[in-house]
Structure formats: C-alpha cells, structure tokens
Amino acid sequence: MRILITGSAGMLGRDCDEHAVAAGHETVTLTRADLDVTDAGAVAAAIADARPDAVINCAAWTNVDGAESEYDAALAVNGAGAGHVAVAAAAVGAWTIHVSSDYVFDGAKPEAYVESDPVGPISAYGRSKLEGERAVALAAPRHHTIVRTSWLFGAHGRCFPKTILRMARERDEIGVVSDQVGCPTFTGHLAGALVGLARAPRLGVLHVAASGHCSWCDFATAIVAASGLDCVVRPITSDQYPVPAPRPANSVLASERDAPALVGWEQGLREFMSALARVAA
C-alpha cells in the first residue's frame, strides 16, 4: 500500500517511514519544508497528487511551553492543520492516522486514562491537540484513527533522554520532577503500531503508549544508569521547576479498546540507546 507521512523529517515521522519501508509499503514523505499543513490548498493538492491509501499525520507543533505565548500558531498546526490533512485524505478515499497526546487530559485521575474518559486539557498545547482531534473526526467521520500517546522520545530529534544525557555529562547532580507520571514511549515502537494501523485501520480514538509507567525522575535515573555516566538524579517537585505550561500530574494511558500493545518503556530506552549510538556513528 501507499502511505503518505506528513512531518516526515521529525522524530516520529522518520521512524514511521523506516517502519513502513521495512514492511514493504511505498511511502510518500513530506517534511515541513515540503508541505505547510496550515495551507489547506497546498495540503489538498499534495494528497490529491500522491493518492495514498493512508496518511499518517506526524506534522505537529511540539513546543509545549511555546504554545502558551503562541497559541494561534500552535492551533493553526495542531488544530486546523490536522483538519486540513483529514479533509484531503478523505477526498481521495485515504484513511487518516492522526497522532494526539495525553495532554488532552487534566491529569487529576488517580488511575490510567482510557479512551472514554472525559478530556480537559490544562495547557494551550493540550487545547490545540484536542482541537486537532475534533477537526479530524469532523473532517473524516468514517475514515480516521486518532492515536493518543505519551512522553515520546526517539533517536532523530530533541527529546527528554537527550537532554538528560547532556546535563549528566555537564553536572554532578541534576534535579528532576518526581510528581508527574507517564508512559515514556519510544518512537520506534509507536511507529510500528501506526504503520500497522494504516494497514488495518480502526475507527475512532485509541491509546497507544509503552506499557508500564514512571515519573520523570525515575525515567532520568534509568537514562543515566544506562549511559554509565556518574551523575546523581535528585527528585524535585513541579513547584521547584516552574515552566510556562502546566503539565498533567498523571499522563498514564491505557486502552479499553484493545489498542496495539507496546512493550515496556524500559525496553524502549534500551533500544533508544542502541539507536542513538548508531546515529552518532
């Protein structure tokens, strides 16, 4: 089948392309330089020209804190842009696989969030991602899968593990937030699930994230241990690390819809470290 990937130069987009090609699919890759998803006409023309069987939309505004001061720009990409992709895909009979976020929830639930839980984003970024979900569902009511995921990290872009590795090389001790929990999800694993859903699509919202969960501090501790660096990771509270955008205290995702199951975040970290070494080489 032919799979079109938007945002294909990004961390997730590159892994999606690799997985799709490895699975024997033909890919059409469009980077942000190739296609501005906020331009409805350009999106319609690009997808009409490619005539894919499925579109995996990895194009996104990912600057969580930046969205607080530049909400209109974030909304244009994550909201309207997502809708443009879904409209254009539906026009050629293609299925839309849209990537969303745990940040559509407020984080107050004591257990893992499932697909039917009420949404309630507490940040501008979360609101923009929720608007994207709504735009996709409206544009392609019978031809979409919305995949919510959590705490993405990968070898091909900026991510939390890379930041921790840099800081651990520079310092003897780092403080990391311990009162936020989530499911650190390796993009190499998520990409495989997205390509699988493009081949065998399922209608509606699915939660697809690494199994298991941890705090940012736990994650950082595991990253430093895997690197062999000599750095102490010290737990701190969210109040001790103020940022412009509030984060959900609980970003743990689970599925009540038999979504594709991913392996544990620890395995994701091991594969990330191996992939990082390959990229560096």
CA distance 8 to 217: 30
CB 265 within 8 A of CB 219: yes
CA distance 220 to 233: 7
CB 196 within 8 A of CB 260: yes
Q: Which residues are catalytic?
A: 125
